[in-house]
Structure 1
């Protein structure tokens, strides 16, 4: 039962193969098994590839099965149409389109399994890329807020500078009236005279202005710091809003790109393995020796070709003979006077009718 199934997979003519030896049947069963297991591998690989895209088992299995059936049908068709010839080059030329297709399929099928085999290494590469993207994202978002924050910081520094300048002015006035009281500057009279009082009043007025300036600027600084805090909160919200996009940066294309950053040699050998698997049905058919089945099939096709050629030649002779007979029949009829008189009469009546119709039409126009 299993051998019959694999023979079906090989695409061989079972009527002819039944007349061959058991060894010949085993050979085609082996070719059919190669076709079958190639389709199984294609189903598994494509299902995993589709699972990485759709993240759904049912969808992956469904479309993976369709892909496997497509590969099975294609391999079975090509294997069954490769005829054993006396020239290996002619056989290889027949298989060239399938080999090129196998190259493409091997690339497509090998990649998903490479992604699975090197999953840990790819995750490490993706983690590094995500960290880089996170830092780059923060820097890009910061560019939107940095000018505003810098301007607000400059305002704070300006307000603090005003207070510092005023403090220096108050300190200078304090030193002035103290020096006047001690007789070190000004009038150089020891004691608290009118000049001292004048300088003391000037200092006290400046000190009051300083206190008012401190309170005013402190309120302004608090307001500006509140704005800076709001900008920082908005910036953090933007970072948290965009972070899920970076966290989700692990799709199929991202993983393929991450795989390309790993050493190429292991991936190359996996690709070669799948190329060998994809081309194995063709290679098995090309390497198999010409046997009784191929001879019987060639004999059957030759007999059919001879029969078709014979039938075509007979039809051509029949057409030629019928044409010659018709020519002779019509030549004989053309010599009969009765037929000539009858056709002359009808032609005369037809010309009269045409003349009458032309006369009526011209008369209606006039």
Structure 2
């Protein structure tokens, strides 16, 4: 049962192959088994590749099954259409397009399986890339907000400097009128004289300005700090919103690019393995001697070609003979007076009818 299934997979004519030896049947069963397992590997590879894209097991398996059946059909067609002619050069030329197609199929099958085999290494590469993308993302977002935050911080610092400068002036005036009262500076007179009062009034006026400046600048500082807090909140929100995009940076293309950064030799050997698997049915058929199956198939095809050629020549001769017979028949009829007089009368009637119609038309015009 299993042997018969693999023979069907090889694309061989079972009716012809059943007339051949067991060895010939086993050869095509082996070819069919290679075709089947290659399609099975294609199904697994496509399912994994599509799972990384859609992240849905049912969808991946469905499309993977379609891809596996497509590869199975292609391989079966490639193997079944290679004909043994006995000339290695002609057979190789005949198989060259099929070998190229087999190489393409091997690449397509091998790549997703390479991604699965080197999944841990690829994850490490993707992690490093994600970390770098996170840093780059923060730097890029910071470039949008840092200038505004720095400008607001400079405004706050300037407002504090204004207050500090004003406080310094007030403290200097305070020390001046206290020293005047104590007689240690100014007029050197102890007591609260006119000079003391003048300096005290100047101090009080500047103190009132300081209080007003503090109130005004405090409001400005609060507004600036609120803007800074909002900018920092927007900065954090933008990083938070963009981080899932970076976290999802593990699709098919990203994994393929990450695989390219790994040493090429292991991937190359895996490709060679699948190339050998994919081309083995073709090479087996090319390298194997012309067996009983090929001879029987050639005999059957030659017989059909002969019958078709005979039928084609017979139809051509029948057509040629029919032309000759028709020529003789019309030549004989040409000499008969009865046919001549019949056609002469019909022609006369037709011309009379045409003349009557012409006369009627001309009469209507006049």
Alignment gaps of 5+ in structure 2: none
Alpha-carbon distance in structure 1 between the residues aligned to 2:220 and 2:2? 90
Cα deviation, 1:76-132, whole Å, max 9, x if unaligned, reads: 122112110122122122222222222222222212111111111111121122222
Q: Which residue of 2 aligns with 1:325?
A: 325
Give the equivalent residue in structure 2 for 1:172. 172
Q: Distance in 2 between matches of 1:102 and 1:18?
A: 28
Tell me the secondary structure at the aligned position of residue 83 of structure 2.
coil
> 2:106 maps to which residue?
106
- Which deviates more from structure 2 when the two are superposed, residues 209-218 or residues 1-10? 209-218
1:232 counterpart residue number: 232
Instruction: Compute the displacement of 1:327 (Å).
Output: 0.3
Q: Which moved more, 1:355-364 or 1:159-168?
A: 355-364
Alpha-carbon deviations, 1:286-324, whole Å to 9, x = none?
Answer: 122111221222222222222222221121111111111
Once residues 173 and 239 of structure 1 are traced to their aligned partners in structure 2, the CA distance between those partners, rounded to angstroms, is 52
Q: Tell me which residue corresponds to 1:73.
A: 73
Which residue of structure 2 lines up, in the alignment, with residue 131 of structure 1?
A: 131
CA distance in 1, matches of 2:212, 2:304: 117
Match of 1:34 in 2: 34
State the shift of 1:210 in Å. Answer: 2.1
Cα drift, residue 180 of structure 1: 4.2
2:262 equivalent to 1:272: no
Name the counterpart of 2:5: 5
Q: Which residue of 2 aligns with 1:24?
A: 24
The offset of 1:185, in angstroms, is: 5.1
Q: For residues 192-216 of structure 1, give each alpha carbon's deviation from its aligned partner in whole angstroms, at most 9, with x where no partner exists.
A: 5432332233223323332332243
TM-score (norm. length: structure 2): 0.92
User: Which of 137-146 and 281-290 deviates more?
Assistant: 137-146
- Secondary structure, counterpart of 2:289 in structure 1: coil
Matched, 1:216 2:219: no
Q: Distance in 2 between matches of 1:277 and 1:69?
A: 17
Gaps of 5+ in 1: none
- Residue 253 of structure 2 is matched in structure 1 by 253
Structure 1 CA distance for aligned equivalents of residues 256 and 362 of structure 2: 86
Return the offset for 1:133: 1.8
Q: CA deviation at 1:223?
A: 2.9
Taking the aligned partners of 2:180 and 2:221, their CA distance within structure 1 comes to 37
Match of 2:202 in 1: 202
- Structure-1 residue corresponding to 2:62: 62
- Select between 84-93 and 197-206 the one with higher mean Cα deviation: 197-206
Larger mean CA deviation between 32-41 and 327-336 belongs to: 32-41
State the alpha-carbon separation in 1 of the partners of residues 203 and 58 from structure 2. Answer: 87
TM-score normalised according to structure 1 size: 0.92
Could you say which residue in structure 1 is the equivalent of 2:83?
Answer: 83
Looking at structure 2, the residues matched to 320 and 209 of structure 1 have their Cα atoms a distance apart, in angstroms, of 127
Q: Does 1:292 align with 2:303?
A: no
Q: What CA distance in whole angstroms lies between the structure 2 residues aligned with 1:113 and 1:278? A: 15
Q: Equivalent residue for 2:149?
A: 149
Residue 74 of structure 1, CA deviation: 1.6
Q: Tell me by how many angstroms 1:325 deviates.
A: 1.0
1:32-81: CA deviations, max 9, x gaps? Answer: 11111111111111121122222222222222222222211221122112
Matched residues, number: 366
2:43 aligns with 43
Tell me how far apart the structure 1 counterparts of residues 91 and 363 of structure 2 sit (CA, whole Å).
Answer: 81
1:168-204 Cα shifts (integer Å, max 9, x gaps): 2223323433554566654455665432332233223
User: After alignment, is 121-130 or 184-193 more displaced?
Assistant: 184-193
For structure 1, which segment, 203-212 or 344-353, has the greater mean C-alpha deviation from structure 2 after superposition?
A: 203-212
Deviation, structure 1 residue 17: 1.9
Look up the SS of the partner of 1:313 in the other structure: helix
* Cα shift at 1:156: 1.0
1:250 counterpart SS class: coil
